[in-house]
Amino acid sequence: MTTFDLRSTIAEALGRSRDRSTLLTDAVDDDDLVRQHSKLMSPLVWDLAHIGNQEELWLVRDVGGREPVRQDIDELYDAFQHPRAQRPALPLLNPGEARAYVREVRDKVFDVLDRTPLEGRELVDNGFAFGMIVQHEQQHDETMLATHQLRKGAPVLHAPNPPAAPAAPLPAEVFVPGGPFQMGTTIEPWALDNERPAHQVHVDSYWIDTTPVSNGRYLAFIDAGGYDDPRWWSERGWAYRNEANLVAPRFWQRDGDHWVRTRFGAVEPIPLDEPVVHVCYFEAEAYAAWAGKRLPTEPEWEKAARFDPATGRSRRYPWGDEDPTPEHANLGQRHLRPAPVGAYPAGESPLGVRQLIGDVWEWLASDFQPYPDFRAFPYKEYSEVFFGGDYRMLRGGSFGTDKAAVRGTFRNWDHPIRRQIFAGFRCARDHRQD
């Protein structure tokens, strides 16, 4: 890629992320922007100014070497300084000030992009710092989308429905042969530090579900009394089920003799053919036990998503090395719901596994740990401070994840009790040779 093409790619990605941030914040009035819709989330206006502040810190000051725009607000928008529940009480920028701030920062960033050599310094090689900021903004956009799901009131976001699944039946699960494969990456230019370096991992043979678990399959677990039977739950999961009084995925409620859900302000019947979403790790773990299976490990998930048995190499994505298109996966808030299970045949992996990218983040059985020879870059607070904590891995992205912030090696993590995120799961089981 030429320097001109790289600058154009960066500019397009920056513009796409800002268009999305603008859509998410302009969709509501100023009262909604400053309101905290859940203690789990920041006010939308905090996310917006935080996006601008991170962009200023890394691109305007560090990469560009420019004078600060608003050094006085650095501490207010430091995510490590103030828990989300406390942020509404801070002297935050008001909506007008926040919008003016992010515009001023972005104008300076485009000037920095025009003038900065994209080589000769690790932070800017291949546009890394710009890519890191694009991914940061898109991750906060997905967080803001989750805030929209939590807000009360009439729908303010709208999008067309995703494509239907092909009518041809699919096998329930796919066999993944045992053996080594290359996990992680050393060459992906915008890969973050926890995705690096590439390394060989041996995985024993196993079976993995062809698609994520659907609402219909999950409803069978509910109807069978799965939430009331401690046999299916880990000790910690059962304790949390009782503490939180879990009876169904978040945003589901009974309406007479059937279930409905609230989705971005609209109440609708549960679509049985969609992947289940808004379940925590413990719910996914319990369903898998009830089904006689388990959750995949992180190496198992990545092998199913990237390994090509015909060549023995690991791809960037299940379908190959090309970037995602609307035919490959449900990404980028293009649709405001998961597609039916079995959709996106063009996104199928070489082994025949579908919807590994997009639709719903997938809970995995693994903790968040560094890869061998991990090196923190460009700062410890992105990954290193979270290693070994109370986190479970999530892979694959959701319908609210942008293509810049997900790939076959991208790693996400969260506390196992989280249900407001767009997370579902698929199951796996050992391959037993009798």
Task: Mark the ranges of the chain whose per-residue pLDDT is less than 50.
Answer: 434
Residues whose CB is less than 8 angstroms from the CB of residue 291 and which lie 6 or more positions away in sequence, other chains included:
217, 221, 427
Domain containing residue 120: CATH number: 1.20.120.450
Say yes or no: 185 and 220 in one domain. yes
Residues whose CB is less than 8 angstroms from the CB of residue 364 and which lie 6 or more positions away in sequence, other chains included:
295, 296, 297, 298, 301, 392, 393, 394, 395
Say yes or no: 225 and 356 in one domain. yes
Q: Residue 297 domain-assigned?
A: yes
Supply the pLDDT for residue 4. 81
Say yes or no: 241 and 125 in one domain. no
Q: Domain end: 111, 129, 150, which one?
A: 150
Q: Identify the DSSP state of 125.
A: G
Alpha helices in 159-228 (DSSP H): 215-223
Q: Residue 171 domain-assigned?
A: yes
Say yes or no: 113 and 175 in one domain. no
Q: Residue 156 domain-assigned?
A: no
Say yes or no: 70 and 187 in one domain. no
Say yes or no: 216 and 266 in one domain. yes
pLDDT single digits (tens) 265-313: 999 999 999 999 999 999 999 999 999 999 999 999 999 999 999 999 9
CA distance 77 to 176: 45
Say yes or no: 307 and 429 in one domain. yes
Phi, psi of 431, deg, nearest 5? -95, 115
Q: Domain end: 91, 120, 150, which one?
A: 150
Residues whose CB is less than 8 angstroms from the CB of residue 103 and which lie 6 or more positions away in sequence, other chains included:
none
CA distance 286 to 243: 16
Q: Residue 367 domain-assigned?
A: yes
Residues whose CB is less than 8 angstroms from the CB of residue 14 and which lie 6 or more positions away in sequence, other chains included:
106, 109, 110, 113, 130, 133, 134
Q: Residue 251 domain-assigned?
A: yes
Say yes or no: 167 and 121 in one domain. no
Q: Domain end: 86, 117, 150, which one?
A: 150
Q: Residue 387 domain-assigned?
A: yes
Say yes or no: 128 and 204 in one domain. no
Say yes or no: 183 and 48 in one domain. no
Q: Residue 155 domain-assigned?
A: no
CA distance 205 to 209: 14
Supply the pLDDT for residue 432. 81
Say yes or no: 136 and 173 in one domain. no
Residues whose CB is less than 8 angstroms from the CB of residue 280 and which lie 6 or more positions away in sequence, other chains included:
240, 246, 363, 416, 417, 418, 419, 423
Supply the pLDDT for residue 433. 62
Counted domains in the chain: 2
Say yes or no: 175 and 110 in one domain. no
Domain containing residue 244: CATH number: 3.90.1580.10
- The structure tokens listed for 266 are 């609209």
CA distance 302 to 347: 15
Q: Residue 244 domain-assigned?
A: yes
Domain that holds residue 114: 3-150
Supply the pLDDT for residue 434. 43
Phi, psi of 111, deg, nearest 5? -70, -40
